[in-house]
Homo-oligomer: A and B are copies of this chain.
Amino acid sequence: MFIKNTWYVIAWDKEVTGDGLFSRTVIGVPVLMYRTEDGKLVAMEDRCCHRGAPLSIGKRDGDCVRCMYHGLKFDATGQCVEAPAQPRIPPQAKVRTFPVVQQHRWIWIWMGDPAKADAGLIPQTPWLDHPDWRSLDGYIHYDVNYLLICDNLLDFSHLPFVHPTTLGGGTDYASFPPKVERLDNGVRVTRWALDTEPPAFVKAVRKEWVGKKVDRWNIYNFTLPAVLIMDSGNAPAGTGAPEGRRVDAVEFRGCQAITPETGNSTHYFFAQPHNFSIDNPEVTKSIHQNIVKAFEEDRAIITAQQKNLAIDPEFKMVPFAMDAALSQFRWAVTRRLEQEAAEAAAARVPQPVTLHREPI
């Protein structure tokens, strides 16, 4: 149901503190996270291997965590290292752990075969902690399947309709057709809206553009499992932005990661770094607030859509040309799921999720 051999964003770095026990469910698996004394990130199933109690309501004990049901203690590798009064600790008493990497403010987790976890595959989001860029941390929880959010992000023709007072600018925005290119693991979407009204969230921080026209671009890669990295911006109309001259432009590097929580709920991590007015926190705040407001607009329409789809699972959607990118992305998801299913069948071994049932 979910892609396993891939990196998912599980948290903002600040969410996992040094002494706490942080819990978040990813693709249906509850995950406990904490940091060891030397700062190393630990991610393990948030479920004691003994009777299934959540470890996150247990207690830290040095670099270990103790389940507060029967007192079993697990080290950072998930191995049970102490069991009160037990003659012996069963060797299979081990909680599954997951590869995790912290990179540019996001913590990424690999829910599949640990042997395949190559940190080099993690998308780059350098603007999240680069001194020339500013942004605030965004997170929204959705009660819908993650693919409906992907659909939304893969077709910006909804901007003037869903976001008239935030991301929307000229009502002609939808009439500029995007270019959609297939990538190895997703799609690349390029949309230029020329000689158009700047979007409201840009006018809010560049008041002198009210009444003026801009050339506006949104160029992004949307790759598996569901990560959007976008170069977007606006420059005064006709100053050469389409040809690469960004004169007096406002630029953003949108970073968005959609992580399935369950089949019906999703984590949405986002930030909208900008490289202008970086010494003015009010600008950063204004941009962030408008983005949050816009994403709540998305959440409202997508949640309404999800309810409508749930009423009739047989409902067949009529495809339009604007669905090109989302159709390609959904095809890439399906292809990857089939590939993982085939690999699992070929290996004739239990899925990684059952590793903790195996003898060590």
Contact = CB atoms under 8 A, between A and B. Distances in A.
A227 interface: no
Interface in A37-57: 46-47, 49-54, 57
A155 interface: yes
A341 interface: no
A71 B356 CA distance: 50
Contacts of A312: 28-29, 47
Contacts of A176: 85
Contacts of A301: 53, 57, 68-69
A93 interface: yes
A199 B133 CA distance: 58
Q: Interface SS of chain A: helix, strand, loop or mixed? A: loop
Contacts of A318: 49-50, 90, 92-93, 356-357
Of A28, A90, A304, A320, most buried by chain B (CB within 10 Å of CB) is A320
Given A30-B311, A155-B70, A161-B68, A51 B321 contact: no
Contacts of A84: 157, 160, 174-175
Of A49, A85, A157, A176, most buried by chain B (CB within 10 Å of CB) is A85
A138 to B, nearest CB: 22
A66 B161 CA distance: 10
A51 to B, nearest CB: 6
A94 to B, nearest CB: 8
A292 interface: no
A53 B315 CA distance: 12
A14 interface: no
Of A49, A71, A162, most buried by chain B (CB within 10 Å of CB) is A71
A258 to B, nearest CB: 17
A55 to B, nearest CB: 10
Nearest to A91: B318
B88 A321 contact: yes
Contacts of A136: none
Contacts of A210: none
Given A49-B317, A50-B318, A162 B308 contact: no
A69 B311 contact: no
Interface string A57-87: 1000000001111111000000000011111
20 contacts: A47-B308, A49-B317, A49-B318, A50-B320, A54-B304, A54-B307, A66-B161, A69-B162, A70-B157, A70-B174, A71-B158, A71-B161, A84-B157, A84-B175, A86-B321, A87-B321, A90-B320, A93-B320, A316-B354, A318-B356
Nearest first, the 4 A-B pairs at minimum CB distance are A84-B174, A85-B175, A71-B161, A49-B318
Given A46-B308, A54-B307, A90-B319, 7 more contacts: A28-B312, A49-B318, A50-B320, A57-B304, A85-B174, A85-B322, A90-B318
Interface of A: 25, 28-30, 46-47, 49-54, 57, 66-72, 83-90, 92-93, 151, 155, 157-158, 160-162, 174-177, 301, 304-305, 307-309, 311-312, 314-322, 354, 356-357
